[in-house]
Amino acid sequence: MTIVLAVILMILLYAVGGERGIITFVSLCFNIAVLAISITFMAWGFDPVIVTFFASLLICYITLFYQNGKNSKTIASFFSVAIVLILLFAVTYTVGYEAHIRGISGILQRESDVFGLSPDINIDMSKIAISMIITGLIGAATDTAIATSSAIYEVFKNNRGLSKKELFRSGMSIGGDILGTTVNTLYFAFIGESMMLFLLFRHYNYSFAQVINSKEFFQEFLSILFSCISCIMVIPIAAAMISYILTSPKRLGKLLDEDELLSDHKDS
């Protein structure tokens, strides 16, 4: 069934996106391979947080440059995501340890004990939990960054007289609309992933206070919270970076040359 669904996905990507759809599918396979290799390194004893950090940068690189090529939009998006990842790295690490979160919830641990499965795999579960949070936010941050950069690029392409400050203001205005839908997307993704968790809470007759104060709920809530924070932070950074790149003299000259060649080609 997994193979059948993968084939259906590939067919739909090609039918809708053509060659770009196939590139998207291939990049998805590359990203899955990166995650699989990361898990292998963790199992071999490498620090899960460090492995996840570099894996996230590699996933971002593949998603942006392999799918969309190397241009001002992808360059601005990649470096803005990298900055956000570095800024949130220390915060996530600190909050994770202070909150004593674990990669496996107490409820799942009780269930594993019932079936005779031990969750003890000689890996620091706090670091696994932090890795899960970092992995969760990288996709949302990358999507928001490229959406912001692409929108500002189109604004500049149609009005090259705008200054860096005006482009940045346009980006922040567009980013507000992007942020609204992104936060809602993350919220529903959180609800969908946590549905079984809430059913387990109901099965074990947890009160509302117990749910709010449980490590299981806090771990899931922390993941969506950091994802939302990453999306909020990446918008001004991406807007500032793409505005700077587009209004720099060298980049502006390159854009004009490309458009002149395109115009000459159309005239001929």
Q: Percent of the chain, pLDDT > 70?
A: 84
Looking at residue 254, its pLDDT comes to 55
Token pair in block for residue 22: 């196939």
Looking at residue 94, its pLDDT comes to 81
If you average pLDDT over residues 162-191, what whole number do you get?
84
Distance CA 141, CA 238 (A): 10
If you average pLDDT over residues 210-238, what whole number do you get?
85
Looking at residue 26, its pLDDT comes to 87
Looking at residue 58, its pLDDT comes to 93
Crossing angle (nearest 10°) for helices 215-247 and 72-99: 150
pLDDT in tens, 106-116: 555 555 444 44
pLDDT in tens, 45-79: 888 888 998 999 999 999 888 888 888 888 899 99
- Overall size of the chain counted in residues: 268
Distance CA 158, CA 17 (A): 25
If you average pLDDT over residues 34-46, what whole number do you get?
89
Flag whether pLDDT at 161 surpasses 50.
yes
Distance CA 80, CA 61 (A): 12
Distance CA 113, CA 95 (A): 28
236 confidence band (pLDDT: 50, 70, 90): very high
Mean pLDDT of the chain: 80
Task: Tell me the C-alpha to C-alpha distance, in Å, between residue 261 and each of 75, 257, 267.
Answer: 23, 6, 10
User: Residue 189, Cα to own-chain centre: how many angstroms?
Assistant: 13
User: Residue 113, Cα to own-chain centre: how many angstroms?
Assistant: 34
121 confidence band (pLDDT: 50, 70, 90): low
- Predicted TM-score (pTM) of this structure: 0.79
Distance CA 95, CA 267 (A): 60
Flag whether pLDDT at 119 surpasses 70.
no
If you average pLDDT over residues 214-239, what whole number do you get?
86
